[in-house]
Amino acid sequence: MNLFQTVFTGSKQALAAAEGLVAKAVEEKGRDCKVAFPDTAYSLPVIYAATGKKITTVAELEGALDIVRSLIVEEEMLDKLLNSGLATAVAAEIVEAAKYVLSDAPYAAPCAGFVSDPIIRSLGVPLVTGDIPGVAVVLGECPDAESAAKVIKDYQSKGLLTFLVGKVIDQAIEANVKMGLELRVIPLGYDVTSVIHVVTVAIRAALIFGGVKPGNLAEVLQYCSDRVPAFVNAFGPLSELVVSAGAGAIALGFPVVTDQTVTEVPTLLLTQKDYDKVVKTSLEARKIKIKITEIPIPVAFAAAFEGERIRKND
């Protein structure tokens, strides 16, 4: 299957998943049931940024499926491909919102799920000063816990903010990676769709710090591309859904580096099979220069550890 067809297929799968979950929400909670993510003034941030409209009820959530449909135009041109990626993002947000409708606490430790506005505000300053030089989204599954930990710890030692999605969370735990907001490693969730919670971080950054008007999608994308130094590492076999989500990342200006053989697109979609080089490859792809000089001491030393309390038995 060519890259375009893979992305279109993934987007249609995302749409089907969203339709399924929304139908379930309608059935279980009714169309008048409230829809909201916790602690945010931006409703469903992706949809809000794209359309300027706040989704407040399940009925409106159902209506938002049309946004997804309208973004999937199966014509083999780059703009259609990127839109299809955005369709997957919107569908993922609908799925995640439905999860919050269907359950009061869809996420439990270690997973964070939706990231609240106050957290984003707290990240604003270090992002602007370059204290957080980048945002890594590590998704999928590495061949073993060790290689996963190596990559994540490397980001951590460089002060990047790392979000984990999928099995890699378990691998990080297994390899004793220390996690938490202060440690700049945040496990989001096990489903691919939970990756949307980092997308909304970038999008809310555009609305909060960039002052971009909701509804001005082009400007939101431009802000993310210019100002949010994020990128994606997708490990392990890639489903069509993941690839189409990757197209969404690319639409936001975030390059995707994977350990799988894919149809590469220079600077945007890259294959790096050597785990020792994943970090360097990703930083170069996103043009991230690390301000802090690495100090060759046995313990990884960086801003990410500032919040860490040394416990007695360590």
Partner 1 sequence: MSEEKVISVDQTTLQMLDKAKNEGLETAWDRKVAQKAACGFGSAGVCCRNCTMGPCRVSPVPGKGAERGICGATADVIVARNFARMVAGGAAAHADHGRSIVLELLHASPNGAIQVKDEKKLKKVAARFGIETEGRDVYDVAHELAQAGLRDFGRQEGHIVLPPTVPAKRKEIWEKLDIVPRGFDREVVAIMHSTHIGCMADAEAILKMGLRCGLADGWLGSYMATEFSDIMFGTPHSRPTEASLGVLEHNQVNIVLHGHEPVLSEMIVAAAEMPEMIELAKSQGADGINLCGMCCTANEATMRHGVKLAGNFMQQELAVITGAVDALVVDVQCIFPALAKLSESYHTKFITTSPKARITGATHMEMDEAAPLKTGIAVVKEAIMNFKNRDKSKVMIPEAKTKAEVGYSTEEILNKLDGVVNSHIGPMQSTKPLADVIVAGVIRGAAGVVGCNNPKTVHDEGHLEVIKGLIKNDIIVVTTGCAAQAAAKAGLLTKEAKELAGPGLKKVCELVDIPPVLHMGSCVDISRILELVGMTANQLGVDISDLPVVGIAPEYMSEKAISIGNYVVASGIDTWLGVVPPVTGGPEVVDILTNRIEEWVGAKFFVETDPHKTVEQIVNRVNEKRKKLGI
Closer by beta carbon to partner 1, 24 or else 280 = 280
Out of 122, 129, 267, 294, name the contact with partner 1 by CB under 8 A: 267
**Which window, 154-162, 236-244, 281-289, 302-310, contacts partner 1 (CB under 8 A)?**
281-289
- Other Cβ atoms closer than 10 A to 266: 8
Piece of 144-152, 274-282, 296-304, 306-314 that binds partner 1 (CB under 8 A): 274-282
Q: Is the dihedral of CA 265, 159, 295, 313 positive or negative?
A: negative
Binding range to partner 1, per CB under 8 A, among 41-49, 61-69, 217-225, 264-272: 264-272
User: Nearest to residue 116, comparing CAs of 207, 40, 49?
Assistant: 40
Dist CA 15 CA 87 (whole Å):
8
Site string for partner 1, 283-312 (x = CB under 8 A): -xx---------------------------
Q: Per CB under 8 A, does 217 bind partner 1?
A: no
Nearer to partner 1, 7 or 185 (CB): 7
In angstroms, what is the minimal distance from the CB of 158 to partner 1? 15
CA distance 71 to 93: 14
Selected from 79, 144, 174, 226, the binder of partner 1 by CB under 8 A is 79
Q: How far apart are the first and last CA of the chain?
A: 51
Comparing CB distances to partner 1, the nearer of 65 and 265 is 265
Planar angle of CA 7, 136, 91, nearest 5 degrees? 35
Counting every residue, how long is the chain?
314
* Alpha-carbon span 8 to 133, nearest angstrom: 33
Q: Does residue 34 interact with partner 1 by CB under 8 A?
A: no
In the shown chain, the binding pattern of residues 36 to 75 toward partner 1, with x for contact by CB under 8 A and - for none, equals ----------------------------------------
Least separation in angstroms between residue 277's CB and partner 1 is 5
Instruction: Report the residue number, 87 or 186, with the smaller CB distance to partner 1.
Output: 87
How far apart are alpha carbons 303 and 57 in whole angstroms? 41
Could you give the CA distance from residue 191 to residue 139 in angstroms, rounded to a whole number?
A: 10
Q: Which residue has the tokens 């200006």?
A: 253
CA angle 79, 10, 259 (to 5 degrees): 90
Q: What part of residues 133-172 is at the interface with partner 1 (CB under 8 A)?
A: none
Hunting for tokens 């975030």 — which residue is that?
254
Residues at the contact surface with partner 1, assessed by CB under 8 A: 2-4, 76-79, 81-82, 263-267, 269-272, 277, 280-281, 284-285
